[in-house]
Structure 1
């Protein structure tokens, strides 16, 4: 852990700069920083902590299905409930604290991956880069992105090191955190299958393959049992939250609309990030990065691109696709120190400024 401290410190410092800028802007608008960081999805999670999960899907006045907290996975609110026992300020404050601690764990995991692939400098830069992506604000909010990224980073690190059982257990926890866990389950599962076919490492790949999907499948089965129908979770996603997958038509149609008529800034930033994500994925593959990292990142990008609904949230949903930052980390690790400093300073400025926009000017979930 001692070797990871520079990465954790840089991550915390860069996030701290963005939070300081947001605090100054919020103060100018007479708004509370904690209230801002505990908005939107954070409210849903806090209500799960205080009131538990819905027993049925609530109905709108017209009889249609309303949104329900059964779409939200249980690990993060479970950890928030534990933190709420010892921290003052209520469930939303506890959720923010959990997200911050998970962010530090994620920075540590990213450092471990970067150092394993290249060297310690690469690990430090990778953690720093993730701190200052455009939607870095979300890492400081009561959201699940930091927790999931920490679990995914350490699971993939364990996988690359051949620690099969650890990779499977962490994948189980990631599957209890958010639906993006499906990308990690597929990656760990395929790696385990290949190892089994090649008769490597004895029983351990079998254990990893069996453990990996338990969290994700367990929650999906629980929601189905809760609602009394096998497809309960998908019913919640498709019919209550109006979220599904298509051939990419929704994403492409929205991009076309943005090119032919004026749309809010958040939509254009999301379009740009989607393009950059696809480009970085290609570079990652061409650089011959370890295939589990390429597959995991590719599946996350695919889930985001083919998702039908909430276009403005697609950039946030890409936050766990951290292997996309590896080509940039590799380049900066080989560059002169002054170049690295300038790039990170510029990215910090953009991330901090855009965080203010998302928190204050933008009126929807980031």
Structure 2
């Protein structure tokens, strides 16, 4: 397994004009060189990713215009995007009873604060509307996520597999969500770089990024679990790490963001430290060990329903198969713990069946076995596979935003 050629810069000779700079300046310059070199290696993958997502948005926009819908509205102000926009504009405090479902109460405390906070900051600094700022944050997050996915793939399997991993992530059937004003891209960016930091022993970075990820989405507890388990394994396997305060600190701060918001939102809702879960229950969302998902799958078999639900079922089955293959490949513990938690939350959570693929969007390590297999294939096979995935992704993304009437 290749650690990437970036480490070669550590031994580069110091140029004459820099000889009077202090050790800290040398370290800063070396770090900047490594970042630039890492970005240079990732550029082909990022270019493919940008082309895939721009093509997908173009297809969706063309269809949206033909049926009288505005692409910006579909991407930036649809379903959860409406709630994030409201929080960015007015803060928390909106509680609405469901107009269609008895006993369901919509409370904006269900949404974590990092994404709307960033949107508000961008809209304050730049002359942009909140909706446009939300799209800007989402697109920047998607780019950072693609780079992080590449970094993890390159660390484990080299550049070819990493490039295909990024391409596969950008061509998922529901990849249109990556360019919507949703939180999945932001969480994936923070998660990917936190996992990379854990794989490379950068414990403070891993803990800090896990803390931020925990402020982005409820299922981001998977990032803290991955960092915590990786730190525990390092402490158990190598006695020398027990004296390194950075390992302990990284593991300690990793869950702070997620737990901090859960407690704050619970008290804000009037339900005490665990009141957040009552907020989720009133939304109709809870963890029931997959009972609701099983009932819904049974309904799909015996009754007609929207195509989105059948595609959701197919994606869940594919995710479980990919999890088996990933486990058999014996990946690093950080990746395995991360995807296990995400899959358990996605499958075991109740209600909003069509949203489950979106909940799995940050679980990019599930695509590693497919990326490895593609890397061994002939170029023609790779091109045909990528073309087929692109057609499916562009069609289904357009369907989700411009045709389907199911919550995403």
- Shorter-chain TM-score bucket reads over 0.9
| Local SS of the residue matching 1:332 | helix
1:7 matched residue in structure 2: 45
Say if 2:273 is the partner of 1:230. Answer: yes
Whole-Å separation in 2 of the counterparts to 1:175 and 1:118: 28
Larger radius of gyration: 2
2:211 matched residue in structure 1: 172
2:320 matched residue in structure 1: 278
How far apart are residue 63 of structure 1 and its match? 9.9
Whole-Å separation in 1 of the counterparts to 2:236 and 2:322: 31
Over residues 325-352 of structure 1, what are the superposed CA-to-partner deviations in whole Å (9 max), with x where a residue is unaligned? 0011111112122211211111111000
1:263 matched residue in structure 2: 305
Q: Which moved more, 1:153-162 or 1:191-200?
A: 191-200
Equivalent residue pairs, number = 364
Q: 1:131 aligned to 166, 170, 180, which one? A: 170
| Local SS of the residue matching 2:105 | coil
How far apart are residue 232 of structure 1 and its match? 1.6
Over residues 260-313 of structure 1, what are the superposed CA-to-partner deviations in whole Å (9 max), with x where a residue is unaligned? 111110110000000000000000011122222122111111111100111111
Whole-Å separation in 2 of the counterparts to 1:63 and 1:257: 21
Whole-Å separation in 1 of the counterparts to 2:334 and 2:152: 12
RMSD over aligned Cα atoms:
1.7
| Local SS of the residue matching 1:125 | helix
Whole-Å separation in 1 of the counterparts to 2:51 and 2:96: 43
1:76 matched residue in structure 2: 115
| Local SS of the residue matching 1:308 | coil
TM-score normalised by the chain length of structure 2: 0.86
| Local SS of the residue matching 1:309 | coil
Q: Which moved more, 1:200-209 or 1:301-310?
A: 200-209
Say if 2:73 is the partner of 1:35. Answer: yes
Would the alpha carbon gap of residues 200 and 184 (structure 1) be closer, same or farther in structure 2, given more than 3 Å must change?
farther
Q: 1:250 aligned to 255, 279, 292, which one? A: 292
| Local SS of the residue matching 2:397 | helix
Whole-Å separation in 2 of the counterparts to 1:200 and 1:13: 46
Whole-Å separation in 1 of the counterparts to 2:102 and 2:167: 48
Over residues 65-110 of structure 1, what are the superposed CA-to-partner deviations in whole Å (9 max), with x where a residue is unaligned? 6201100001101111111124444111111111001000001001
Whole-Å separation in 1 of the counterparts to 2:374 and 2:96: 50
Runs of at least 4 residues off by over 4 Å:
57-65
Q: 1:343 aligned to 369, 385, 394, which one? A: 385
2:20 matched residue in structure 1: none
Unaligned runs of 5+ in 2: 1-38
Q: 1:26 aligned to 45, 54, 64, which one? A: 64
Say if 2:358 is the partner of 1:320. Answer: no
Would the alpha carbon gap of residues 282 and 89 (structure 1) be closer, same or farther in structure 2, given more than 3 Å must change?
same
| Local SS of the residue matching 1:192 | helix
Whole-Å separation in 2 of the counterparts to 1:208 and 1:359: 39
TM-score normalised by the chain length of structure 1: 0.96
Q: Which moved more, 1:287-296 or 1:204-213?
A: 287-296
Whole-Å separation in 2 of the counterparts to 1:60 and 1:325: 37
Would the alpha carbon gap of residues 33 and 88 (structure 1) be closer, same or farther in structure 2, given more than 3 Å must change?
farther
Whole-Å separation in 2 of the counterparts to 1:253 and 1:45: 30
1:148 matched residue in structure 2: 187
Say if 2:343 is the partner of 1:311. Answer: no
Unaligned runs of 5+ in 1: none
How far apart are residue 231 of structure 1 and its match? 1.9
How far apart are residue 253 of structure 1 and its match? 1.2
| Local SS of the residue matching 1:180 | helix
| Local SS of the residue matching 1:154 | helix
| Local SS of the residue matching 1:245 | coil
Whole-Å separation in 1 of the counterparts to 2:399 and 2:51: 21
Report if the CA contact (8 A) 2:160-2:375 is conserved.
yes
2:16 matched residue in structure 1: none
